[in-house]
Structure 1
């Protein structure tokens, strides 16, 4: 079974994964507050209408979710995983970040009181009690009610509480025991690694085992960029307890990741077998916000953003592009050369920023910024006396390097490639035979090639 809500808005499809003892029904209160989104809430194998599947181990559950995503041929999606579903969402996101075929649609992850890739923290006496409920039979109504009430900050109203209790009782005995005895105890940290897909990590203020501390220790370290927030008035069953708050938080995260959304035809090509795993992973990584390098100040980033906006006035996302450029300069992954009279890139950019700051560049209006940059290009701006700045001659060459680096990074983005109709990355997958091109005449496209018109 699945719950599907088709909204009128464009944007990523939200794929919802429930907790232990729940089903797709736990997301109905949340979907009510997401009327404009395309949403798919799934019954994980062993639960809800999928209870007859019995227990799938963690590896099989991740394979199942990956196949579900591939089968829908989604051009973009965000995974929303609650508790047990969060562990599965993280493992599939890790595979997507490494370039696995058919998973390039995953733009973001929302973890709701999520079980981590490492063993889930749980009081062992409570684990034993929960195992006892299903040891020889299905849980009774009283036992299921005990489970639901223990995981909420306040008693749920009757309709929601009844649904939650019924879901626990119809869970597969094998799936319930399999997760508590094995799945929740498995350590997948090495497989999860560090994931470049941005995440929103949520914790209930009154959640004992998987609250804020557990999320900071066990889930946050697996994501390059993540925002951790605490939901007040909730324990573990946040989708039932605070559905409107949860929906608003999900909407905010979706808005943050949609800058990485690609046109549907281009996204399908990037996710196809015409693209190697390493190429796909590299291109997808360019869609995701880089971590801020410690060497750059907030003023440096403001200056870099203003420079990018002047160099590429019609390009979207100047701040994100600036962060990506600065990340490359900090890491030393630039274009491999520099002008002889300039110091190494990191120092040159730091001194270039200091020189621009001396002229108040970032605080000027757009017209004044443009006029100052014209003077920089003409060799009229600089300081020969201050070793923390660049001379006029150096500034002219540094600004040339800034322009080249900005355009180089911008052209390397999949969003730019989609906009100009470039598909040269899709000529050789991981098979022994590289597909290449069959037709090479001007304006003579092959069936697999997305034109700019098709990709828009």
Structure 2
């Protein structure tokens, strides 16, 4: 647990330190927030701005001046997150001025690579910042409205628009033409520092799939949370939710990667016009980890997770938490409307079946199922599938264990393939056959054996071909 840290907060393009006021109030005694105006914005609007390294220098100087005596963290929203990543790299490279950095909070963060923004929109944003006052105000209003999932309060909206209008045009353009396009991937590499990554499900450019593809691979210890219904300006839109997530992060920083990554080509497909809006929204929502309710006991959840590791192994860090998702499904009572008639209701069947597995493990090996090696786990699962697992008090009969294990395998695959990372892992491109224009659906045009559409090649070359 991190005790009474200082949280240095960096705002989005056009924002200011004022963006963090509500969140700071809600964090209260859990962290002291020090919000910083980046060069060219807020009270630092007399500065012409600079590249990512120059902004990191500016923040590092402020941190030195503040002189935190204990652990401290950096929180960045959008543009501020890229600066936070640069500071974290300096810290891990041994910069003594940044000693004490204990974590990152990246909210709808700009990734280490160039931002995935349409060039036409970038040019338009660069153009209107120098326009007449009436045009600037109209475009600033539209900019703020387009970056939130739901309208801000009138006070927050007005204050945020005013921040955009007082931004230094040179700094605005320096970010859009320079900083946002800087490629820090090699310099950032993989950071060891724990990080909380939050994305808004309604964020067009830097939403869940962009974070999973472009930011998470650079973080060895991360937790990724999807905020449903939220857009890009998370500290303004969801101060209560963000404060709660930060409190949880301070109490228990992740020790490993806790969320799957996405290949960039597959993330780009999700965000493309080949995927209709309804499907894209569903895919983004499926990236969100269920937060309950749950119904399995702690022991049963651990047994289920160990079982799923053998039923459907996942390579690498950041695995889909199948056990958590299945537990939430059981608690909801939802299902596909089918089960073996001999089995009890799903939640009861799972609890009893997992109890049988654990009891058999303890009887045969003197340890819980979750503590066994792969060979011993496989032996018990093979016995369950064949109806040879010994019956235990409160468990399922051997023949019912066979039925349950068949159901489990099907549910594991369904749950895996419901997640975009599961679809990416098998190279499934079928999500790209639709679109929002019913009269001009993209579809597939090449139907020959092993024929690839040109738009499929970047995906299949990276993750393999499911066909």
User: SS of the residue aligned with 1:140?
Assistant: helix
2:166 to 166, 170, 174: 170
CA 291–363 in structure 1, closer or farther in 2 if over 3 Å, else same: closer
User: SS of the residue aligned with 1:34?
Assistant: helix
- Structure-2 residue corresponding to 1:451: none
2:21 to 28, 33, 57: 28
> 1:10 offset after TM fit, Å?
4.8
- Structure-1 residue corresponding to 2:117: 122
CA separation in 2, counterparts of 1:229 and 1:254? 15
CA separation in 2, counterparts of 1:162 and 1:102? 37
CA separation in 2, counterparts of 1:60 and 1:137? 29
C-alpha contact (below 8 Å) 2:36/2:59 kept by paired residues: no
Map residues 190-339 of structure 1 onto 2, 5 A cutoff.
190-257=186-253, 289=255
User: SS of the residue aligned with 2:67?
Assistant: coil
Map residues 30-49 of structure 1 onto 2, 5 A cutoff.
30-36=23-29, 37-49=31-43
1:86 aligns with 2:93: no
- Structure 2 unaligned residues grouped into runs of 5+: 259-301, 307-360, 372-378, 380-467
- Structure-1 residue corresponding to 2:55: 61
User: SS of the residue aligned with 1:115?
Assistant: coil
User: SS of the residue aligned with 1:99?
Assistant: coil
> 1:30 offset after TM fit, Å?
1.0
1:14 aligns with 2:7: yes
- Structure 1 unaligned residues grouped into runs of 5+: 1-8, 258-287, 293-297, 303-353, 365-387, 389-456
CA separation in 1, counterparts of 2:203 and 2:195? 20
User: C-alpha deviations, 1:379-417, integer Å up to 9, x for none?
Assistant: xxxxxxxxx9xxxxxxxxxxxxxxxxxxxxxxxxxxxxx
CA 218–359 in structure 1, closer or farther in 2 if over 3 Å, else same: same
CA 231–62 in structure 1, closer or farther in 2 if over 3 Å, else same: same
CA 95–147 in structure 1, closer or farther in 2 if over 3 Å, else same: same
> 1:290 offset after TM fit, Å?
5.7
Tell me the TM-score normalised to structure 1 length.
0.55
> 1:357 offset after TM fit, Å?
8.7
User: C-alpha deviations, 1:312-340, integer Å up to 9, x for none?
Assistant: xxxxxxxxxxxxxxxxxxxxxxxxxxxxx
CA separation in 2, counterparts of 1:146 and 1:26? 18
Task: Give the paired residue count.
Answer: 270
C-alpha contact (below 8 Å) 2:130/2:136 kept by paired residues: no
C-alpha contact (below 8 Å) 1:118/1:189 kept by paired residues: yes
CA separation in 2, counterparts of 1:360 and 1:159? 59
CA separation in 2, counterparts of 1:192 and 1:363? 36
CA 72–356 in structure 1, closer or farther in 2 if over 3 Å, else same: farther
- Structure-1 residue corresponding to 2:185: 189
Tell me the TM-score normalised to structure 2 length.
0.54
CA separation in 1, counterparts of 2:126 and 2:17? 23
C-alpha contact (below 8 Å) 1:117/1:188 kept by paired residues: yes
> 1:57 offset after TM fit, Å?
1.3
- Of 32-41 and 171-180, the range deviating more from structure 2: 32-41
CA separation in 2, counterparts of 1:180 and 1:289? 35
User: C-alpha deviations, 1:78-125, integer Å up to 9, x for none?
Assistant: 111000000000111111122211212111101000001110111222
> 1:152 offset after TM fit, Å?
1.0
> 1:209 offset after TM fit, Å?
0.1
C-alpha contact (below 8 Å) 2:223/2:257 kept by paired residues: no
- Structure-1 residue corresponding to 2:366: 359
